[in-house]
Amino acid sequence: ATAVPTLPNGKKRHHRQSNRQPAHVSFYAWFLQPSSASQLVQLAQAFVNSVALTTGLDRNANLTPSSSTLLHITAKYCGKCDAQSYTERSEVAASIGRSFDIRLTGLLLRPGSSLVARAELSPSQLALWDNEPTKSEMPSGKSLPRASRAHVTLATAPGVRPSQAGFDLLDALAILQSSSSASPSSVPGGGHVSWLSGGRVYLTLAKPLTVAAVFDAHS
C-alpha cells in the first residue's frame, strides 16, 4: 500500500477532495517532507560554507538555511486574485495531498539577497505549474524555458521579500545562458560552480537531489 504523505509539520494527511479546500487560498505548492528539507538544508549550508572559505564571505551573513521554515516550491500564487479556475482544474484537484519526487539541480547564493535551490519539474509537475513571470519581470531581452523560476527559497536577507529569490534565480540563469563562466569545483557534492557579477555564485549539482514533497493549498 502507498504510504500516507507526511506534511512538514510531521502530521499525516490523506487525500482530500477539492470542495474541502480553504475558502481563500494564498498559494499552491509542493511542500518538502521533513527528511528532504533537512537533506537540502545540509547541502545548502555546505555550499555556503565552501563559498565563505573561498571568498571570505561571512557564512552567517543572514543567509543561513533552516529546515524549521516551511520549505516549498510555489506552483501557483493566488494573492488576492480569484484562483477558482486553477482550483477547478482536474489535474489540480486530483493532485491535492499527493506526494511527488522533485529534482533539484542547482543552488544560487546572492549575498545580501537570497539563497535558493533550483527545481526542474517533470511533465506531470509542469501540468500543475502556473507561476510564470510576466514579460516585464523577465531579465531584459532574455527568453528562458518554462518553469525556470521553479525554486525553493532557503533564506533571504533582512528586508528582502521571499519572492525576490525567484527573480534572483531568473537573473542568474539568464547570465548563465550567455556565459561560459562555469569551472570545475570541489564543493561538497561535486558539480560546477559559476562566479557571476555582484558576488553571485551558482552551483550546478553533479547529480540532482531528489526531494519528496506534498502538493497542497496554503491559506
DSSP state, 197?
G
Over residues 50-70, the pLDDT tens digits come to 888 777 666 556 577 876 779
Confidence of residue 18 (pLDDT cuts 50, 70, 90): very low
Q: Please provide residue 111's backbone torsions phi and psi, each rounded to the nearest 5 degrees.
A: -50, 135
Confidence of residue 117 (pLDDT cuts 50, 70, 90): very high
Is the residue at 194 inside a domain?
A: yes
Is the residue at 114 inside a domain?
A: yes
Is the residue at 9 inside a domain?
A: no
Domain count, the chain: 1
Give the domain range for residue 72: 23-34+41-218
Q: Can you tell me the mean pLDDT for 62-88?
A: 82
Residues 6+ apart with CB under 8 A from 128: 28, 75, 76, 91, 92, 95, 215
